[in-house]
A and B are shown apart, each in its own frame.
Chain A
Amino acid sequence: MYNTNYHRAESTDDAIAKLGASDDGKFVSGGQTLIPTMKQRLAAPSDLIDLCHIEAMKGITIDGNQITIGAATCHADVATSKELAAVCPAICDLASHIGDPHVRNMGTIGGSIANNDPAADYPSAMMALNAQIMTNKRTIDTDDFFTGMFDTALEEDEIITAVTFPAPAKAAYSKFPNPASRYAMAGVFVAKLKNGMARVGVTGAGSDGVFRHEGMEEALTSDWSADAIADASVDEGDMLSDLHGDAAYRANLVKVMAKRAVEKAG
């Protein structure tokens, strides 16, 4: 790792000021991707501005049907929240299978979403739950937020403060882990919203990062069952292909994980 300066931000304004004052600073919110990358000397920010200690960005609130998770909330807190489990157990289940205990106690939902790793779990849930991404500047619809692999609608000086979404009628996440990294090779989050619409978010498999599968959404909206998506087609041309599995295999995994998620959701 190259030398870097560590700063703990007190607020989003403080964070932005500190970023502005640095040569080549970077926000860190758990650092479970950034720190290993820095250790490998593949990233060398001059300054790290830590967002994890901004009190206003921590915690889970449930207001009637609306769920809000602070961006600095770690995966372990999402995984073990009894209040959240009562209204959206699927997101707790997803969080409980991210990385290992170390990662779950350091990594945050805001960090995960901002990084938009194509194999990260949370983006698929945000897509399927029709979440809104709240920042220090605005609120962004999830469909507008994820703009491609490792790319989001966030501006340079924009910080995710929370995510918010309505509790779904039914939801579940099914992931096929990469044998080596245990990141998702295909992770599918399915949700049946209370307005009757089904949404399907797919991570790990797409060559352009997380995406919604509209064909499955239509099928599931009219018939919420695994059988309804048995004949869904997944375009191999949109799939990643690497030494762990080619596009045909990933396309198959997307279908299988989607069916399993629907079965799991009940």
Chain B
Amino acid sequence: MSEGIGARVLRREDKRFITGSGKYTDDVKNDRQCYAAFVRSPHAHARVKGIDKSAAEAMAGVEGVFDGHQLTGDGIGNIICGWAVTSKDGSPMNMGAWSALATEFVRYVGDAVAVVIADSPANAKTAAEAVEVDYEVLAAVVAPDKTLESGAPQIHPEAPGNLIYDWEIGEKDATEAAIAGAAYVCEMDITNNRVAPNPMEPRSAVATFDPSEDHYTLYTTSQNPHVARLVLSAFYQVAPEHKLRVIAPDVGGGFGAKIYIYPEEIVCLWASMKTKRSVKWTSDRTEAFLTDAHGRDHISTAKMGFDANNKIVGFQVDTIANLGAYMSLFSSSVPTYLYATLLSGQYNIANIHANVRAVYTNTTPVDAYRGAGRPEACFLIERMMETAARELGVDPGELRRANFVQEFPHQTPVIMAYDSGDFEANLDAAKAASDWDGFEARRSEAASRGKLRGIGMSSYIEACGIAPSAAVGSLGAGVGLWESAEVRVNPVGTIEVLTGSHAHGQGHETTFAQVITDRFGIPHDNVQIVHGDTDKVQFGMGTYGSRSGAVGMSAIVKALDKVEAKAKKIAAHLLEADEGDIVIENGEVKVAGTDKTLGWHEVCLGAYTAHNLPEGMEPGLKEGAFYDPSNFTFPAGCYICEVEVDPDTGTTEIVQFVASDDFGTIINPMIVEGQVHGGIAQGVGQAMLEQAVYDDSGQLLTGSYMDYTMPRADDLPSYTVSHETTVCPGNPLGIKGCGEAGAIGSPPAVINAITNAIGNNDLSMPATPSKVWAALQASSMKQAAE
């Protein structure tokens, strides 16, 4: 089956993407379209004393200038966080109010206070500059530990001391006792750096209000258009759900940043109603740096205790998570249920306790970014495992092996029940592929060239297939996390699949069609995948958390089961055979063991002519299904990074990167490898290049590519990627998911390798040349002192 499951089918969507024929939100052009420009706060924290719109209103081409008082006056609701996390004392989280246009206070640089609608982008921007906002500048705080100090500026009245919640998981007393009795305790302070997501396509929205129908259409850069419609309607009261169509057409990358509903979409919809004009807004790159939800930004202290046999006896973590100036849609869940629940890693740990304090600061809101909580957990665990191995004087791979979970299912002390895996297989495959045992010879050879060579590994696990609805509901989620699909078989036998998943670079149009091809043996070209339009697809939860294979495709399989069952009934009737004897293969419907056969298209046509259907059967061949997963899925693997450091400049070159992953069943290995490559690139970016930096007054210093370092081709090696598969027992295709693994597993492997090379374990991300050089100076000074 050359186009079915497991085939390297070329991405059909690439024809339009690489020829510039994609249709993105900013490509939408409506009659009498206007443009929005936002008036944004230049201050990280200020009281808004007044807004003078008169000069802007009088300017050329201006259709309207609106502020937050008008917005709230029209009943537009505050932006909310949709996951309720409860503090350990039982109190609800302290969520501050977030109006799409700020009224009394601005809380980060970029906070929108007004919007100008004008007939051209230039006129809108020029008029926005003419809106005079009278600010009383207030003290700001940007660091997650500083914001908790007494005397820190108070950011939201709802959150005293800037504390959003103080949450814990696991058994504190037992964990402390286990660590107290440990033969060896590894202790580390670990920072997980704040990064900006940077999808290639900036966010954009085009909102059109049709007064004759009281109907709104929103084109937007969303990973989940149905969730956007639900939230815009139910919580922000922008428009009733049945009067709002949300379309997320081609979307150029998301990485999490396009999950959330931002002020701009809300304001465009509302302004379209106010002006009776179609309103477009497209972010520029600096606006993207300022307003797209950032990722990570944790500071943690951790203790991991080992017994005399090097078995982990307890792991305790204290984390402060910076959520920025406002609580974005899923922000609360990231440093709790997507983070602390993964702190067992690949290891059998009887006692784990984590305490997480989420805090407000005067910075851009922080939410899920590729990996979302799991990279932060993985970085902690894998940095500590490597450090422990060094301090104990044992091989890092063998320390991991001695602690691996070996039997499944495995219940961790932090909610997750691992269903399958073979962690040793990944470790052994990665060690073999990297020639781990030959490293010392390579290190010596590098030394002869004046280079410091180092090697590091990371054994990651993550939780994908997000998520069982009842389980996440019990943990505070405001939505269920199932997926839907509809399979429409046309009378000629071609098929349209409507999915609630959303592709923004993942290649769903190719991989999803492979599942249908595999099932019925019809050509890949005869299958069309439809997504991203609330008028076409009934409902869907969208794409994030590596869920589209494990959850989205499972919904398609459920719908295919129903289609197949009906097609077999029709075929059995037409062929005068027993339904149980009908098989569908290679585009034919046959009676097993006979030469009685019908073409797939003949059965489909029969369903629609309805001339000769079984007694009582409805015409047509179209089925829908909702799939709610029974458990998370657990992709896992082992990554090995090998580097050479130039001691004169601190420049690190990655000379080898090996990934051995277990993603369960793989539909299209080429696309999966691409996901791993991209994920590692983002992980390397976080580890060596990327950081969103604020000065103490809250100004973002990395507001453009002049100062924010994105990974480029020459920063990255050629990867060695392979798979050791254990099939996921929880879903029909056995899929675990692959979208985030690279970004989760790679940062600790990189830092473990660099610290191994330079002989100084005190190195934070991003390990820029200047930081590596400084670490080298510190270690050589230390050596000189000794």
Interface residues of A (CB under 8 A from B): 1-3, 40-41, 176, 179-181, 183, 243-246, 248-249, 252-253, 256
Supply 16 further A-B pairs (C-beta < 8 A) apart from A245-B768, A248-B774, A252-B773.
A2-B122, A3-B122, A40-B286, A41-B129, A179-B709, A180-B702, A180-B708, A181-B705, A181-B707, A183-B706, A243-B693, A243-B701, A244-B707, A244-B770, A249-B650, A249-B770
Which of the listed residues B649, B710, B768 has the most CB atoms from chain A within 10 Å of its own CB?
A: B649
Q: For the complex, give the distance between the alpha carbons of A243 and B701 in Å.
A: 8
In the complex, are the beta carbons of B705 and A180 less than 8 A apart? yes
- A243 and B649 contact, Cβ closer than 8 Å, known pairs A179-B769, A249-B770, A249-B773: no
- A180 and B122 contact, Cβ closer than 8 Å, known pairs A244-B768, A252-B773: no
In the complex, are the beta carbons of A256 and B708 less than 8 A apart? no
**Interfacial chain B residues near A253, Cβ < 8 Å:** 649
> Residues 639-655 of chain B: 1 if any A CB is under 8 Å from the residue's CB, otherwise 0?
00000000011100000
B400 within 8 A of A: no
In the complex, are the beta carbons of B768 and A179 less than 8 A apart? yes
> Residues 700-738 of chain B: 1 if any A CB is under 8 Å from the residue's CB, otherwise 0?
011001111110000000000000000000000000000
What is the minimal beta-carbon distance from A163 to any residue of chain B, in angstroms? 27
In the complex, are the beta carbons of A179 and B689 less than 8 A apart? yes
In the complex, are the beta carbons of A41 and B648 less than 8 A apart? no
Q: Which residue of A is nearest B769, CB measured?
A: A179
**Interfacial chain A residues near B701, Cβ < 8 Å:** 243
> Residues 94-115 of chain B: 1 if any A CB is under 8 Å from the residue's CB, otherwise 0?
0000000000000000000000
In the complex, are the beta carbons of B125 and A41 less than 8 A apart? yes
Q: Which residue of B is nearest A183, CB measured?
A: B706
Classify chain B: how many residues form its interface, as a range.
20 to 34
**Interfacial chain A residues near B707, Cβ < 8 Å:** 180-181, 243-244
In the complex, are the beta carbons of B702 and A243 less than 8 A apart? yes
A-B contact count (CB 8 A): 47
Q: Which residue of A is nearest B647, CB measured?
A: A256
Q: Which residue of A is nearest B709, CB measured?
A: A180
> Residues 110-145 of chain B: 1 if any A CB is under 8 Å from the residue's CB, otherwise 0?
000000000000100110010000000000000000
**Interfacial chain B residues near A176, Cβ < 8 Å:** 649, 769
Top 4 closest pairs, chain A to chain B, by CB: A245-B770, A180-B709, A249-B770, A181-B706
What is the minimal beta-carbon distance from A101 to any residue of chain B, in angstroms? 14
> Residues 565-598 of chain B: 1 if any A CB is under 8 Å from the residue's CB, otherwise 0?
0000000000000000000000000000000000
In the complex, are the beta carbons of B770 and A246 less than 8 A apart? yes
Q: Which residue of A is nearest B126, CB measured?
A: A2
Which of the listed residues B286, B648, B701 has the most CB atoms from chain A within 10 Å of its own CB?
A: B648
Q: For the complex, give the distance between the alpha carbons of A30 and B365 in Å.
A: 39
In the complex, are the beta carbons of B702 and A256 less than 8 A apart? no
**Interfacial chain A residues near B705, Cβ < 8 Å:** 180-181
Q: Which residue of B is nearest A1, CB measured?
A: B122
What is the minimal beta-carbon distance from B131 to any residue of chain A, in angstroms? 15
What is the minimal beta-carbon distance from B195 to any residue of chain A, in angstroms? 13
In the complex, are the beta carbons of B126 and A249 less than 8 A apart? no
**Interfacial chain A residues near B129, Cβ < 8 Å:** 41
- A256 and B126 contact, Cβ closer than 8 Å, known pairs A243-B693, A249-B774: no
Q: For the complex, give the distance between the alpha carbons of A179 and B705 in Å.
A: 10
Q: For the complex, give the distance between the alpha carbons of A176 and B649 in Å.
A: 8
Q: For the complex, give the distance between the alpha carbons of A183 and B705 in Å.
A: 11
